[in-house]
Amino acid sequence: MIPSNTVSTMYLLLVFFIINGCSGRRDAETADLVIHNAKIFTVNDENPQATAVAIKGEMIIAVGDYKMIRKYIDKGKTKVIDAGGKLVIPGFNDAHAHFGPVNIDYIELRYTTNPAILTEKVKEKVAEVVPGQLIRGGHWEHEMFIDKKWPAKELIDPVSPDNPVLLHRADGHSVLVNSYVLKASGITKDTPDPYGGEIQRDPETGEPTGILKETAQNLIKTGAIETVYSEEEKNMRREKGWNAAFDMAARDGVTSIQMPGGGDAEYMLQRKKAGKLTLRIDVAGYFTDDMKKLHMYDSLRKEYPRENRWIRFGYIKGFIDGTLGSATALFFEPFEDEPETSGLPQMPYDELERKVLLCDSMGFQIGIHAIGSKGNNWVLNAYENALKVNGRNNSRHRIEHAQILIEKDIPRFAELGVIASMQPTHCITDKRFCEKRIGRERSKFAYPWKSLLNEGTKIAFGTDYSVELLNPMEGLYAAVTRKDRMGEEDGGWFPKEKISMEEAIRLYTLGSAYAQFMEDRKGMIKEGYLADMVILDRDLFNIHEDEIMKTRVDYTIVGGKIVFER
C-alpha cells in the first residue's frame, strides 16, 4: 500500500506536468512572436540556416527548427506566423540614404527619356499652383535623354514665366533652373564660377544655360524664391511627407537607415514616443573644422550614443568631389568626353587632411563622398596620415560611394581599416555612360565589389536615396548581375566584379551594421540580436535574375513588431 503523503506528492507532480509538460514549454520564456515553416538565411556563420525563430520584446530569443521553438509558444499570448516556406532574412540596413519627408508636390522625372517631358510636367504643375510658388522636381538624367544633351532653361521658361523652378539632376549635384530663378538670384553671364562649382554657359553667348553644378547651386537665393507657408501648413505638409517616407521604408523592408549628413534626432524621438518610429536611424554631422559645430556634434553623440538602439549619432560627412554623371568627379586625368576638365575638387587636399586630422583626433567617425579615382586616393591618403599621427583607434572611417579606384588603392581599404560604403544601383545607372566619360581602361576598377572583398575590405551597402530608389531589390539585382534594369544577354558589365546573392545580402545587413558599430547586436538573425527581419514573397537564392526586382516584402518586422504586412 502506497503511503498517503506519497500519493499526494505524485498527484502534485502529475498536475505540474499536465500544466507545464504537455505543452512542451517547460521553463521556456513565452515568445511574443514566432515565425516558423520558413527558409531563414541568418547571416550567422555559426548557424547559417534555420526554419523557425522566436522573439520576445525587441530581441530574438531562439533560432532553430519548430521542434526547438515551439516550447516558446503560448497560444494565448504568442502571435505565430506560418511563413509557408518563404525566405526570411535580416532587415535591410541602408548605409547611405538621404531620408526625409516626401515632397507631396514634387515633379518626378526619374527614367525620363524625352526632354520634352520636362516641359509638359512643369506646365502641368504651373496650372496647379499660384504665381510665385516654387516648383521643385528632379531625378532626370540627361544621359537617358534621346539626344543625351544637357537640358537648358529654354525647355521650361515658356511655361513658367511667373514661377521659380528647380529641377535637380538624379545625382543631386547639378540643377536646372529657369530664368525666374537666375534673375531672382542675380546670376548673369558676368557671375564668376565659385570654387568647386560651375555655371554652365552657352558657348556662343556666354549666358547661363540654367544648369548649375556643385557649389554653383549655392548661388541660388532660396529666400527670394521659397514659398512661404503658414506654420500650420508647414507642419501638415511635413507630417504627411514623413508618414509617406516611413510607409515606403516599411514596404521596402528597410529597418535601419544611416543618414549621410543631417537628420532631425529630436523629431525622431517624438515619433518614437508616439509609437510611430518604424525604423532605426542614425543622424549625422557635416565635415568641418569649426570647433563650435564640432562641440555641438559632440553633445549630440553623447545624447544619442552608439549604445542606443533606435536613434543614434553616426558619422561626420563631407565631400571631396562631385559625380560621374555631372562630370565633376575628381580624376588624375581629364574626362574623355570633356577633356578640358578632370573634375571639381570640393576643397584643396591640404584642407581635407587638416580637417580629417582634427575630426579623427576628437574620436569622430568620418565618411567622405568620393567618386573619382583621384578623389578616393586623396581620402585614403588623408586617412592614412591620420592613422600615423593619431594612431589606430577603431575609427572605422568610411568612403561614401568609393566608385572608381586605381588598382593600387584597392588593398589600401583593408590595410587602413576604411569601410567602402557603396550603392550597387549606381553601377547599373552609371555604366551607360562610364566608358564614354573615362574610357574602358579606367572603368575596369569601377564599383569593384569583388576585388575589395577579396582584399578583406569591409563593405556596407545602401542606395543613396533619393538619388536612386530606396527599394533594396534593385541593389541586390545590380550586385549580382551588373546589368541594365531592362536586362541584357551578356554576363554583365565587367562581370568579374559581380558578387553572389549571399554576399550581397550580407553587405546590406551585417556589413552595414559593422559600418555603424552595431555588428554585435544587429545584422544577423541570432539569439540576443535585435528582432529586425523581413519575409519575402520569393526565394532570392533560387529564382532567375529577372525575378529579383519583382520580389516583394510580405512582412517587415522591426524590434519584434510587425510594421508592414502585404
C-alpha cell at 297: 556634434
509, pLDDT greater than 50: yes
Burial of 302 (C-beta count, 10 Å sphere; 0-12/13-18/19+)? exposed
In eight-state DSSP terms, residue 21 is I
Helix %, strand %, coil % of the chain (to 5): 35, 20, 45
pLDDT at 95 over 60: yes
The per-residue pLDDT for 28 is 74
Question: Which pLDDT tens digit goes with each residue over 304-339?
Answer: 999 999 999 999 999 999 999 999 999 999 999 999
Q: What is the C-alpha separation between 478 and 545, in angstroms, rounded?
A: 10
Predicted confidence (pLDDT) at residue 6 exceeds the cutoff of 70: no
Among residues 16, 39, 316, 330, the alpha carbon closest in space to that of 173 is found at 330
- With 0-12 / 13-18 / 19 or more C-beta atoms within 10 angstroms meaning exposed / middle / buried, residue 276 is middle
pLDDT band per the 50, 70, 90 thresholds, residue 27: low
Is the pLDDT at 51 greater than 70? The verdict is yes
Query: What is the rounded average pLDDT of the residues 388-399?
Result: 95
Task: Please report how many Cα atoms fall inside a 13 Å half-sphere around the Cα of residue 248, on the Cβ side.
Answer: 18
How is 533-545 classified by DSSP, letter by letter? EEEESS-TTSS-G
Domains and CATH numbers, the chain: 1-91+523-566 (2.30.40.10), 107-225 (3.10.310.70), 231-519 (3.20.20.140)
CA 266 to chain centre: 21
For 261, phi then psi, to 5°, come to 95, 130
In DSSP notation, 346-364 reads: SS-HHHHHHHHHHHHHTT-
Query: Can you tell me the distance from the alpha carbon of 501 to that of 237, in angstroms, rounded to the nearest whole number?
Result: 39
Residues 455-474 have a mean pLDDT of: 97
Half-sphere exposure of 564 (CA within 13 A, CB side): 25
DSSP string spanning 509-534? HHHHHHHTT-TTTSSS--TTSB--EE
What pLDDT shows up at residue 1? 47
Predicted confidence at residue 454, as pLDDT, reads 98
- Cell (9 digits) for 85: 516556406
* Main-chain dihedrals φ then ψ at residue 266, nearest 5 degrees: -65, -40
